[in-house]
Homo-oligomer: A and B are copies of this chain.
């Protein structure tokens, strides 16, 4: 047992995870995470002294969403980046909001955040609607088939 039972390497410091761990958690490879970073899908990621990447729980969460978007929407990374950038703007707004003393500015930022989220939702809704339309097509075909089945079998059991 070189390192089987104890995954103690997993805790470089508090909650922070290294790239390998994150990758495994997401079912991806370290290479993919570096590639995504290179392409600007996530902020350059913190490093520890020697240059090893460290991911916060928030980072991991963001990565999870990216992975989901990729799977669900089938967008290219470039397209996903625009979505993620909006997301990032949200994070920035949050941080600024906390530091912000003026209630008026806070309000403005929050309203902007709502606008961004609303836009993201619209994108999703669009996709959902199209998929439901497709689904409806399939259902219609099923109904027609069911009618035929009922005609031929509904009367008697034979």
Contact = CB atoms under 8 A, between A and B. Distances in A.
B134 A131 contact: no
A158 B104 CA distance: 9
A113 interface: yes
B120 A138 contact: yes
Kindly report how many copies of this chain are found in the complex they form together. 2
A107 B142 contact: no
A131 B103 CA distance: 34
A152 B106 contact: yes
Contact of A131 (B75, B127, B142): B127
Contacts of A73: 74
A26 interface: no
Interface string A122-138: 00110110111011001
Interface stretch (A4-12, A38-46, A143-151): A143-151
A118 interface: yes
Contact of A74 (B75, B148, B152): B75
Interface of A is mostly: helix
Contacts of A128: 128, 131-132, 135
A150 to B, nearest CB: 11
A103 B152 contact: yes
Interface of A: 65, 68-75, 90, 103, 106-107, 110-111, 113-114, 117-118, 120-121, 124-125, 127-128, 130-132, 134-135, 138-139, 141-142, 145-146, 148-149, 152-153, 158
26 contacts: A65-B134, A68-B134, A69-B134, A70-B74, A72-B130, A74-B75, A103-B152, A103-B158, A106-B152, A107-B149, A110-B145, A110-B149, A113-B145, A114-B142, A114-B145, A114-B146, A117-B138, A117-B142, A120-B138, A121-B138, A121-B139, A124-B131, A124-B135, A124-B138, A125-B135, A128-B132
